[in-house]
Amino acid sequence: MRSLLFVPGDSEKKLEKGLTSEADVLLIDLEDSVSAERKAAARQITADFLKSNHGKSAPRLFVRINDLSSGLADNDLAAVMPSLPVGILLPKSNSGKDVTQLSTKLNVHEALTGLAEGVTQIIAIITETAIGTLSAGTYPDASKRLIGLSWGAEDLSAVIGATAVRDEAGRYTDVFRMARAVTILGASAADVAAIDTVYIDYRNEEGLIRECTEAARDGFTAKLAIHPAQVPVINQVFTPSAEAIEQAERIITAFADNPSAGVIGIDGKMFDRPHLKRAERLVTRARSL
């Protein structure tokens, strides 16, 4: 999983276009991109789309429901779960308890649809509220369904009253840098994917490349997208290079040949056990792609 593309759930045209975007995951949105008057129509369009595309290998179809406190989440789930989405994207998650609560709801829907319990996956956006940002460490053991954590800046800025999320140089200000950092740490603690937030200036390819590169450097393994044009850049940056895979495999082989070693020398460079763990993760991710 490298790219996750948002598509409004009330637009059949955009949903069909999303199928050809080469995104790894299509995030069918019932929340922010759908007005209150269009919620019911979006649920029906989304359910029909899921049903007609069920079982296809790519992209994987997730649905972003409305948050648990909105009063709309149960209606969202009732509408889409019979059409068997691969997963649910939970916005405005305040803690691991919200993921556990969603998982319990999914247990019921899976039973009603004859699905095995636990097959529907969950990704959570964890920094759209102040308490959510401060609760990033609560996701270990929240649910076996959880496969990824992501973050968002715009909703958080509205909650705290910030007038901008970036400074004059285009860098995130301190609060949003913190939200970004705790997402990486929270995902690592829960042993799930760390997914970087959207880059809203979708015509600025240079800026997108820079942000993807920095995200991959810091530990993110995927990124949200708001436009199909962003998907190729995201896929390219978050796909491990042949050179990186080869180096990782050499590290793994060297430690396998010397299982009692704490440090290994390769081409004049020293690698220890943390390097081995990072190499194993990279190879595993490359194989999954």
Active site residues: 272
Query: Which has the closest alpha carbon to 279: 287, 37, 79?
Result: 287
**What is the spatial distance between Cα 153 and Cα 175, in angstroms, rounded to a whole number?**
9
Residue 67 token pair: 């948050």
Q: Say how many C-beta atoms besides its own lie within 10 A of residue 206's C-beta.
A: 9
12 Cβ contact list (under 8 Å, min separation 6) = 45, 49
Burial of 287 (0-12, 13-18, 19+ CB in 10 A): exposed
**What is the spatial distance between Cα 271 and Cα 264, in angstroms, rounded to a whole number?**
5
Do residues 109 and 81 make contact, with C-beta atoms less than 8 angstroms apart?
Answer: yes
Q: Which amino acid is at 79?
A: A
